[in-house]
Structure 1
């Protein structure tokens, strides 16, 4: 005779052991799955960190911007002939003071070297739009131009004086002592905060003595033919004749306030600008390649 002896205590202990074993198995499986999920999410974390690290830059193309406004075709052609468009496009923060076809005729027939220096004084090495100008703490402010950065300026020829009149209008002129403030700020043409701004002036600004700085007088050029105004809706309105408000400028403010731009006396280092541009392109290309590799690994 065989006796079937049941031991409840042993069964309970055996069941407890099985439960513990199952819990341990499930726990290890869950932890392993979580670890796998974390590993697969790692590439996305790396990519996100790289995207935050890469500086955001906006490419500037001044001739393309002005090309949308036929009334600035002569000014745009001068930028191309003097190759100033290339220097402007290398900058990341800039303000261009443009003059329309009907008011730029004073430059016609002048030597190309002189025209280049004049236009250099119309390129401000900082970003200004109407909102920023309205927040100026002083009535008169000095603006640093590309001519000052090139090292070709004498005295205050590389600076512009901008003054806000009681009427709310802005007038600009050379910061050279005795120079008139007779160029009125007409309107804001193009703004891409905070990279480039194009503001329209009523007339070109010619610093006193700028034409006596060894300019080659044997290469005069004529003004390019103005393009017909096919799109008058986009052309800015012509500016009214501005009166010279030189007498109303406070002497202590117009003399020598601190310029807001740092590279005042240093020549323009085009090689550094080109090198930094190439470095940014290389960096973006490397990141793009990394994204492709990480995406491929993730899909596998």
Structure 2
């Protein structure tokens, strides 16, 4: 291969690399900085970091709004602003001519909000309609306002990024009410409210245990009558001991009775002896 062909091939390759890098290298913040009328819109893109998501895309269309029409958006909470701005970013390249070529008169466009996972129902989509030579942008959500129209083309880098000015912000019905969802957090607190009731039940359950000592008091009183009869038999034993004590007195009396028969025998013997002597 000749040196000239090698140089030509390397030059062609360098041009391809340069073109591919410049084709995808855009910065929405720097681009809008050139247009002072969109300063508020540009600042909000930076504050919500939607600009970073835009710069990561290779094909994108941004619907920008002039500062004098942004008061309705800038007064909302940050999360609501982020969602609203995300609906102004279409995930495809659309310039004025491409929008006018919509043959069906209406088309559904996918926005950046649809990729965030926070969109519900049709919030992540826009309807674009060609009516009376005017291009109208409307949220795909039911009962959305249909008063936002295309004003002009601001800037374009064909097939990569297109910046179009619209007459006002595209408001999605109920989108700014989403931040109120965290108010449901007190619901778990209500769930904790019944928790004290079991403790009260436990305290009531303990009160019968406190009564058990009162039940022991009658048992002590019941023992005292039992002790009384027990002592009475002891006293009954005492008379039994007294009965035994007379027993020796009887035996002594019996001894005296034994002396009387012996004395009578002596008298009889004396009588017999006197009788024998008289013989």
- Range of TM-score over shorter length: 0.5 to 0.7
Residue 149 of structure 2 corresponds to which residue in structure 1? 184
Deviations 1:198-233 (A, max 9, x none): 111111112112123246899xxxxxxxxxxxxxxx
- Give the TM-score normalised by structure 2: 0.60
CA distance in 1, matches of 2:164, 2:8: 43
Gaps of 5+ in 2: 184-279
After TM superposition, list the pairs within 5 Å mapping 1:1-300 onto structure 2.
Answer: 38-41=1-4, 43-44=6-7, 46-48=9-11, 50-51=13-14, 54=17, 56=20, 57-166=23-132, 168-214=133-179
Deviation at 1:123, TM superposition (A): 0.3
Aligned residues: 180
Deviation at 1:51, TM superposition (A): 4.2
Q: 1:216 to 1:112 in 2, by over 3 A?
A: farther
Q: 1:79 to 1:88 in 2, by over 3 A?
A: same
- Give the TM-score normalised by structure 1: 0.56
CA RMSD of aligned residues (A): 2.1
- SS of 1:116's partner is helix
Do the aligned partners of 1:60 and 1:90 also contact (CA within 8 Å) in 2? no
Do the aligned partners of 2:108 and 2:128 also contact (CA within 8 Å) in 1? yes
CA distance in 1, matches of 2:99, 2:75: 34
List structure 1 runs of 4+ shifted beyond 3 angstroms: 48-55, 214-218
Q: 1:52 to 1:61 in 2, by over 3 A?
A: closer
CA radius of gyration, larger in: 2
